[in-house]
Structure 1
Amino acid sequence: MQGLSASLVLIAALAVVAPIAVRLLDPVVKVPIVVFEIVLGILLGPSLLGWIESTPFTDTLADFGLAMLFFVAGNEIDFTAIRGRPIKRASAGWVISLAAGVGAGFVLAPSPEAAVIIGVALCSTALGTLLPIIRDAGESTSPIGTAVAALGAVGEFGPLIAISLFFTGKQVGMASVVLLGFVLLTGVAIFFASKARHTLFHAQVTRTLHTSSQFAMRSIMLVLSSLVVLSMVLGLDMLLGAFAAGVLWQVTIARAPEADRRVIETKIDAVAFGFLVPIFFIDTGIDFDLGALTSSPAILALVPLFLVLLLVIRGLPSLLAAPRGSTRAQKRAILLFGATGLPIIVAVTTIGREQGFITSGFSSALVGAGMLSVLLFPLVALMQLQRKAATAPAAARRSDPSPQAQQKHDGDLPPSGASGSDT
């Protein structure tokens, strides 16, 4: 009990320290907060200082955090924006990534199961991690933001399908039948939710939005827990249920008053990113086996190798989803965003390690590459987008010969009537 109490307090402290560290470094470099959360977990965990240990309770909270991360991803995807070309081309790119990832897995691993584990890890995109970054950068509704949302939707949903098919302990045929049943059931629920007006439901949400009843948040927890438990009972990965719950909630609340929806989104962010999600990332750092990673130079060398493979196997096919007319800088940004992966990597390598398909060293190397991708790729991608934004005004001025544009370009130059030659 004493160990649990100390771990809970220290995890809460790390969750507070992480945003402060982000703020302090912000003038120098923009580092995603999840990187600090993971690194702080490693620092205080058994791998280094040993001040925090994983307990069944903290692991359960971390599982809730991972489920909430996928719920937020399902809830925030704008399916009307990504339908058509974005989702089709993102899906085609993901199929290429999966095939290439499994092929690379066969080269690196001695068994088909390990090859599939590596392939699924390398074809994932961390939508739940990227969405806050894209949103904070003001790119949510831009063509680039739409492309990243399509890539992330496929890059999280596709691996969840693969995990449910190959790592549930069932034969692939039976697993396919169960998966199809789950998809049909949730699809029917989403269809009817999209057609109903939910007048009484929305009225109850409005009445309790600022009271202790909090009907909306309680409904969210009911939807989330129900679909997570259903997926687990069917032998599927729980994250599939969490993702589907996010989509179902988005459809259910779509016709509520806009002001109410904004308040609910704020509350979801508070529960997810203020409580549960940080615990997941800190716990990921606590469980990270640094000793296994540094046990041999060969295992350590896998980290940069997997990082390069993420760029090649996941990043390059992501270019298929680039909007028409994208500049080279924008394409580089899409490549980097598409290659950013971590939550699926953590989930699938945990399954592989627990079932004996891959070693702790392989698992740590994949997770380490995922952490580096979250640290480096979005940062460089945002730099590419900022470079494009900085050059756009100059390009516009060059293409616009109007006197107004020239005057704006000249800045502080005085008008011709006030030149020095008049004196």
Structure 2
Amino acid sequence: MSYIGGIALILFTTTIAGAISERIGIPIVIGQLLVGILLGPAALGWLHPNVLLDAGAEIGVVILMFMAGLESDLKLLKKYFKPALSVATFGVILPMVCFFIYGEFMHQSFERAVFWGVVFAATSVSISVEVLREFGRLNSKEGATILGAAVVDDIMAVLILSVFVSMFGNVNQTSGSPSLWVSLVEQAVYFVLVYLLIRWFAPFLIRLFEHLAVPQAVPIISLVICLGMAYLADLTGLSAVIGAFFAGIAIAQTKAHSEVSANINPIGYAFFIPIFFVSIGLEMNFDHFWRNISLIVVMTILALLTKLIGGGLGAKLLGFSWNSAYVVGAGMVSRGEMALIIAQIGYQAHLLHASVYSEVIIVIVLSTLLAPLMLKQAINRLPDTTHES
């Protein structure tokens, strides 16, 4: 029964850490990750990775990605599609190229060098949203472009991650694994299923379960869709997170969006998601920290500049002023939970070497903490006349 005490300790400490994080203005997920480091083998040694925590963390990341899909505003994306696509595309390509080159320079294997780029191609704009709201810029041209680009960026990152893990990851590979061509066909069929889910299946099931005299029937079928799509994605060799993400997008297009969000969020944030972020901290160690300090510094600089320049260039090419493009680029810098998810999946798939795993997590944390400072400085450069409602 010791695992029950461990879970109780995780939930208690992450709640306290979350409150402290909010008070000092850093993301709650960073506080939860630090709890994992503090309680895990890297510090106190009170908690260690185990089967139960791994299962809880796996469910946590699936629910987290489901909620990310739920919060993806496709209407906003349609309105600002061209600048959002440009910003996201350049903001994905530049980090992937630069981190691949640096990975090769650091004598990583081809697939691990590419995966460094995959990790830092991700963006999480939840922090940027708070900064934009604070300055009254959330509904401006810059704010809407950042939000739209975040949707495209998430879709790109999840697709790249899934295809890359299916090709190079060796978590579930066996001698009897299907050939690459068979896997590609299965994955193509899966994406057809995703389209059908968004277009017809999800709305039909939601309408059907709305008429059942069962409490919480709609949130339950939404979870079934989420877990089912995650399971099917895993069967085809894709990452489970892609199934959960597109399941969230499908539910977001129905009238039940608000009800599902209101019921699933507490399940995720009260239990499974804290376990996921703590589990990342439990995997960390600092045996090679000082030996790899130059790696951390260079990767942090690359993490900041590649998104800033890539996103800013994408905006500038679509007619934004230099100051507005700077705001958009700064708004895309934060990696947050999306990069943490990708790093954890890559670590489990042996695409991220254990000797640099902790350092990569540190860089993600540093870029997430520095991002709002960069965005605030960029917004202060904007003249009031550029503000658009």
Q: Which residue, 225, 231, 235 being the options, matches 1:229? A: 231
Question: Is the 8 Å Cα contact of residues 10 and 52 (structure 1) preserved in structure 2?
Answer: no
C-alpha distance in 1, partners of 2:264/2:132? 15
Question: Is the 8 Å Cα contact of residues 22 and 28 (structure 2) preserved in structure 1?
Answer: no
Q: Matches of residues 13-412 of structure 1 in structure 2 within 5 Å?
A: 13-25=12-24, 30-83=25-78, 84-93=81-90, 94-126=92-124, 129-130=126-127, 133=130, 137=134, 141-169=139-167, 173-192=181-200, 200-201=207-208, 203-204=210-211, 213-253=215-255, 261-291=257-287, 293-294=288-289, 297-322=290-315, 330-382=324-376, 384-385=378-379, 387=380, 392=384
Residue 111 of structure 1: CA displacement? Answer: 1.4
- Deviations along 1:369-416, one digit per CA (max 9) or x if unpaired, are 01112222134424644x368x639x99xxxxxxxxxxxxxxxxxxxx
The structure, 1 or 2, with the larger RCO (C-alpha pairs under 8 Å, 6+ apart) is 2
Residue 23 of structure 1: CA displacement? Answer: 4.5
SS at match of 1:290: coil
Question: Is the 8 Å Cα contact of residues 190 and 248 (structure 1) preserved in structure 2?
Answer: yes
The residue type equivalent to 2:279 in the other structure is D
Question: Is the 8 Å Cα contact of residues 308 and 333 (structure 2) preserved in structure 1?
Answer: yes
- How many residues align? The count is 372
C-alpha distance in 2, partners of 1:330/1:312? 16
Question: Is the 8 Å Cα contact of residues 15 and 278 (structure 1) preserved in structure 2?
Answer: yes
The structure number with the bigger radius of gyration is 1
The change in CA–CA distance for 1:388 and 1:264 in structure 2 (over 3 A counts) is farther
Question: Is the 8 Å Cα contact of residues 118 and 157 (structure 2) preserved in structure 1?
Answer: yes
Question: Is the 8 Å Cα contact of residues 86 and 146 (structure 1) preserved in structure 2?
Answer: no
Percent identity, aligned pairs only, is 20
Runs of at least 5 residues in structure 2 that lack an aligned partner in the other structure: 168-177
Residue 282 of structure 1: CA displacement? Answer: 2.1
The residue type equivalent to 2:158 in the other structure is L
- Deviations along 1:63-100, one digit per CA (max 9) or x if unpaired, are 22211221111111111211331343134312344334
Question: Is the 8 Å Cα contact of residues 83 and 145 (structure 2) preserved in structure 1?
Answer: yes
Question: Is the 8 Å Cα contact of residues 87 and 151 (structure 1) preserved in structure 2?
Answer: yes
Question: Is the 8 Å Cα contact of residues 164 and 175 (structure 1) preserved in structure 2?
Answer: no
Runs of at least 5 residues in structure 1 that lack an aligned partner in the other structure: 397-423
Question: Is the 8 Å Cα contact of residues 284 and 357 (structure 2) preserved in structure 1?
Answer: no
The change in CA–CA distance for 1:354 and 1:227 in structure 2 (over 3 A counts) is closer
Residue 131 of structure 1: CA displacement? Answer: 7.7
Residue 308 of structure 1: CA displacement? Answer: 1.1
The change in CA–CA distance for 1:61 and 1:142 in structure 2 (over 3 A counts) is farther
C-alpha distance in 1, partners of 2:311/2:365? 19
The residue type equivalent to 2:185 in the other structure is V
- TM-score w.r.t. the length of structure 1 is 0.77
